[in-house]
């Protein structure tokens, strides 16, 4: 499969997770391209079979949590019909922010496969299993035998 990993990052944590996802995808024998939203390769994104879309968690306990820079994510080209897995980084508590990330993916036209939160200081924890599960879900959605 051809996989696009697109992200927004404020402190570098989400960029680091994006790069690790891209490397894991390649280690599993798939093609991967990794870009921040503003520099996404539109031709690659158009041809991609699936997308990993990531950002950081914004907000505090009182007002709730939201995908950071969600406006920048929504400004990127649509990912119509593409299986899309979300990933988000956070520092202390993420609340139900993945539900809001699912809404972003839906607004972009993607097919939400689910997502994963990565805590600062523990960014590698669960990453390999997340990538394998997301690729399997995408292959199932696309009707591709793994």
Domain encompassing residue 30: 2-142
pLDDT tier at 146, thresholds 50, 70, 90: low
- Other CB atoms closer than 10 Å to residue 120's CB: what's the count? 13
Cα separation, 132 vs 80, in Å, equals 22
Segment holding 111, helix H or strand E: strand 111-119
Cα separation, 60 vs 81, in Å, equals 33
- Other CB atoms closer than 10 Å to residue 133's CB: what's the count? 15
pLDDT of 5 over the 80 cut: yes
More confident residue, 97 or 7: 7
Q: What is the CATH number of the domain that holds 101?
A: 3.40.50.360
The number of distinct structural domains making up the chain is 1
Cα separation, 13 vs 121, in Å, equals 9
Q: pLDDT per residue over 9-20, tens digit each?
A: 999 999 999 999
- Other CB atoms closer than 10 Å to residue 94's CB: what's the count? 17
pLDDT at 96: 79
Share of the chain above pLDDT 90, in %: 74
Residue 131 C-beta-side C-alpha neighbours within 13 Å: 23
Q: pLDDT per residue over 26-82, tens digit each?
A: 999 999 999 999 999 999 999 999 999 999 887 765 566 778 888 888 888 879 999
Mean pLDDT of 79-93: 91
8 A C-beta contact, residue 123 and residue 90: no
Task: Give the three-state DSSP class for 105.
Answer: helix
pLDDT tier at 95, thresholds 50, 70, 90: confident
More confident residue, 61 or 97: 97
């Amino acid at each position: 499969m051809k996989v696009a990993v697109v992200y927004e990052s404020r402190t570098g944590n989400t960029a680091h997770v994006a790069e690790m996802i891209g490397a894991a995808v390649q280690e599993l024998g798939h093609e991967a391209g990794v870009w921040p939203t503003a520099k996404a390769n539109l031709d690659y994104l158009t041809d991609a079979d699936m997308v990993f879309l990531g950002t950081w968690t914004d907000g505090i306990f009182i007002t709730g949590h939201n995908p950071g820079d969600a406006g920048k994510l929504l400004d990127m080209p649509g990912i119509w019909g593409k299986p899309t897995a979300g990933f988000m980084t956070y520092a202390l508590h993420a609340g139900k922010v993945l539900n809001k990330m699912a809404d972003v993916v839906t607004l972009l036209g993607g097919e939400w496969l689910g997502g994963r939160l990565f805590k600062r200081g523990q960014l590698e924890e669960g990453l390999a299993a997340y990538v394998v599960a997301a690729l399997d879900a995408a292959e199932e959605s696309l009707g591709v035998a793994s």
